[in-house]
């Protein structure tokens, strides 16, 4: 009888412990994350800069975790359509969002957003930093170097155009900043992502782009488009023959495209920690390092707290740029 009573107490204690774990967010189950495929919302169509980093990330994710990272491309409105969708995802670690610098710009360009990048998301990791590059269709803009290009633009005011990933993206503002600093005028043509804009650039339907190296790199190497300048004060190791902005007389022209990973607000802390650790392992893998380098990019390497501060600082910085440039939605 005594033995039966002890067994009963043991069973009750086990049931209570299980109930406590479930009540506290199911930490036992969460510790095993991921136990099923994870959805990664990429807020631009396939073929753009975000996609160029998301797909190698997904391939490495499968190797590290044994589960699939499903790329869910949802383009539109400068990346804000996909962001809005991701913000409403279940906060369980199975919906992640791969955003970019565009999402730090959006609050200043889109006054009626139905999400807040700082309040409705949890920043997890900075995935990549990549400089912007000025690229042209060599048939539409037959110039040999940046100086010839600048002379050509000045001789033909309002006759040339540039494609972008959408209004309010870094591609758009890079063009506005260029116009401001060179005293030139080129027409902005917004697309639903860098991929479609690049295809039209290659086809000759637009003259130029201010693109992230991540999406342009392959096409520059193939000769389909020509790189005339990378932003900033240093040449990029992946394209050592392309001069930097400081060299061509634009010392203050610095535009960097960065890509980051977020989870919907409410995602449990232990799940966040597991995601961050897996992403760190992925980002430091030799395969990813090689792909990032070929795209002219650096891995982020920030802590979660550092990334959160970085996002806030970028929201403030781009608000000032938008105001100074007078950039508006087309």
Residue 17 has pLDDT above 90, yes or no: no
Residue 99, SS3 per DSSP: strand
CATH of 38-130+257-325, one of 3.40.50.300, 3.40.190.150, 3.30.70.270, 3.40.50.2300: 3.40.190.150
Q: What pLDDT is recorded for position 11?
A: 41
pLDDT tens digits, 118-131: 999 999 999 999 98
Residue with tokens 């520059």: 220
- Which residues are within 8 A (CB) of 269 and not within 5 positions of it... i.e. 6 or more apart? none
Q: Look at strands 256-264 and 95-100 and give their pairing.
A: antiparallel
- Whole-prediction pTM: 0.83
DSSP codes, 258-288: EEEEEEETT--HHHHHHHHHHHHHHHTSHHH
Q: What percent of the chain has pLDDT over 70?
A: 90
Residue 23 has pLDDT above 70, yes or no: no
Residue with tokens 């036992």: 28
Q: What pLDDT is recorded for position 330?
A: 64
Q: What pLDDT is recorded for position 31?
A: 56
Token pair of 29, please? 């189950």
User: Over the range 87-120, which residues count as b (16 or more CB within 10 Å of their CB) and which as e?
Assistant: bebeebbbbbbbbbbbbbbbbbbeeebebebeeb
Q: What Å distances lie between residue 124 and 134, 146, 300, CA to CA?
A: 30, 38, 11
User: Over the range 214-228, which residues count as b (16 or more CB within 10 Å of their CB) and which as e?
Assistant: bbbbebbeeebbbbb
Q: What pLDDT is recorded for position 324?
A: 81
Token pair of 310, please? 């970085």
pLDDT tens digits, 138-177: 999 999 999 999 999 999 999 999 999 998 899 999 999 9
**How far is residue 269's CA from residue 72's CA, in Å, rounded to a whole number?**
24
DSSP codes, 205-244: SSSEEEEEHHHHHHHHHHTSSEEEEESSSS-BTTBTTSPB
Residue with tokens 């999406």: 215
pLDDT tens digits, 35-85: 999 999 999 999 888 999 999 999 999 999 999 999 999 999 999 999 999
Is-same-fold flag (38-130+257-325; 131-248)? Answer: yes
Domains of the chain, residue spans: 38-130+257-325, 131-248
Quick one: which H or E segment has residue 16? helix 2-23
Residue 26 has pLDDT above 90, yes or no: no
Mean pLDDT on 243-254: 96
Q: Which is more confident, 63 or 11? A: 63
Check if CATH label 3.40.190.10 holds for domain 131-248: yes
Residue 32 has pLDDT above 90, yes or no: no
Assess contact for 188 and 180: CB atoms under 8 A: no
Residue 4 has pLDDT above 80, yes or no: no
Q: What pLDDT is recorded for position 47?
A: 87
pLDDT band for 18, please (50, 70, 90 cuts). Answer: very low
Assess contact for 214 and 238: CB atoms under 8 A: no
Q: Supply angle C-alpha 221, 227, 161, rounded to 5.
A: 125
Residue 10 has pLDDT above 50, yes or no: no
DSSP codes, 16-50: HHHHHHHHTT-HHHHHT--SS-EEEEESS-TTSHH
């Amino acid at each position: 009888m005594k033995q039966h009573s002890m067994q009963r107490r043991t069973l009750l204690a086990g049931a209570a412990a299980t109930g406590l774990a479930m009540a506290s967010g199911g930490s036992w189950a969460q510790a095993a994350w991921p136990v099923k495929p994870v959805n990664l919302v990429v807020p631009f169509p396939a073929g753009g800069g975000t996609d160029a980093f998301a797909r190698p990330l997904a391939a490495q994710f499968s190797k590290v975790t044994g589960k699939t990272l499903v790329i869910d491309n949802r383009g539109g409105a400068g990346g804000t359509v996909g962001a809005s969708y991701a913000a409403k995802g279940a906060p369980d670690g199975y919906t992640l969002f791969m955003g970019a610098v565009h999402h730090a710009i959006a609050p200043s360009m889109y006054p009626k957003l139905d999400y807040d990048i700082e309040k409705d998301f949890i920043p997890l990791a900075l995935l990549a930093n990549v400089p912007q590059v000025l690229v042209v269709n060599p048939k539409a803009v037959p110039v040999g170097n940046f100086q010839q290009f600048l002379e050509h633009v000045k001789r033909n005011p309002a006759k040339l155009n540039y494609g972008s990933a959408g209004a309010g993206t870094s591609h758009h503002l890079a063009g506005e900043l260029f116009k401001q600093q060179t005293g030139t005028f080129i027409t902005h043509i917004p697309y639903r992502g860098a991929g479609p804009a690049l295809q039209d650039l290659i086809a000759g339907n637009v003259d130029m782009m201010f693109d992230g190296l991540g999406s342009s790199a392959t096409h520059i190497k193939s000769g389909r488009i020509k790189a005339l300048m990378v932003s900033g004060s240093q040449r990029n190791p992946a394209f050592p023959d392309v001069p930097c902005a400081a060299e061509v007389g634009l010392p203050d022209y610095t535009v960097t495209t960065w890509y980051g990973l977020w989870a919907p607000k409410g995602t449990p802390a232990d799940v966040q920690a597991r995601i961050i650790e897996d992403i760190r392992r992925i980002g430091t893998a030799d395969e990813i390092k090689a792909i990032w380098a070929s795209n002219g990019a650096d891995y982020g390497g920030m802590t979660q707290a550092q990334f959160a501060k970085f996002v806030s600082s970028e929201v403030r910085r781009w608000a000032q740029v938008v105001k100074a440039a007078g950039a508006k939605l087309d």
